[in-house]
């Protein structure tokens, strides 16, 4: 497969994973939590999701390479994969509007959100 095809497949998989309200809320929570991430129990509590539903959504985001999982003793810690998020945003920006105008607007919007 060519690099372009792989990038497109990644973008489609990532966007499909985020195209569900609970997964989008979960990803947003992990992005906002920072690099330290959150334990699964805390995620379930904050989102009001039963453990079985949370596990399903976490697995979906992991398969799409949008989040990472680490173990801390008996706890599973989940965090957003910022490199993956940047790849997705970069792909969208590169292929958005043929790069005309919207890239600057999107960059400005992302900077406002981050600050």
Q: In what order do the strands lie in the sheet with 67-72?
A: 38-39, 75-80, 67-72
- Helix residue ranges per DSSP H, 40-98: 40-47, 51-63, 82-95
What integer pLDDT is reported at residue 4 of this predicted model? 72
Paired sense of beta strands 67-72 and 75-80, if any: antiparallel
Given this model, what pLDDT does residue 33 score? 96
Q: What is the pLDDT of residue 48?
A: 96
pLDDT score, position 23: 96
pTM over 0.95: no
Q: What does the longest C-alpha to C-alpha distance in the chain come to?
A: 49
What is the Cα–Cα distance from 26 to 23, expressed in whole angstroms?
5
The Cα angle at residue 7 between residues 33 and 76, in degrees rounded to 5: 30
pLDDT (tens, 9 = 90+) of the chain, 115 residues, equals 667 777 888 889 999 999 999 999 999 999 999 999 999 999 999 999 999 999 999 999 999 999 999 999 999 999 999 999 988 888 887 766 665 556 566 566 666 655 5
Locate 27 and state its tokens.
Answer: 């990803």
- Give residue for tokens 């599973």: 76
pLDDT of residue 56: 96
């Amino acid at each position: 497969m060519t690099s372009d095809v792989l990038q497109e497949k990644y973008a489609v998989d990532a966007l499909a994973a985020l195209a569900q309200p609970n997964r989008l809320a979960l990803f947003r929570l992990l992005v906002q939590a920072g690099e330290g991430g959150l334990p699964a129990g805390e995620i379930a509590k904050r989102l009001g999701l039963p453990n079985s539903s949370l596990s399903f959504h976490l697995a979906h985001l992991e398969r799409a390479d949008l989040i990472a999982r680490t173990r801390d003793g008996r706890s599973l810690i989940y965090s957003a994969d910022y490199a993956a998020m940047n790849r997705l945003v970069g792909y969208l920006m590169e292929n958005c509007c043929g790069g005309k105008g919207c890239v600057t607007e999107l960059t400005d919007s992302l900077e406002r959100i981050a600050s």
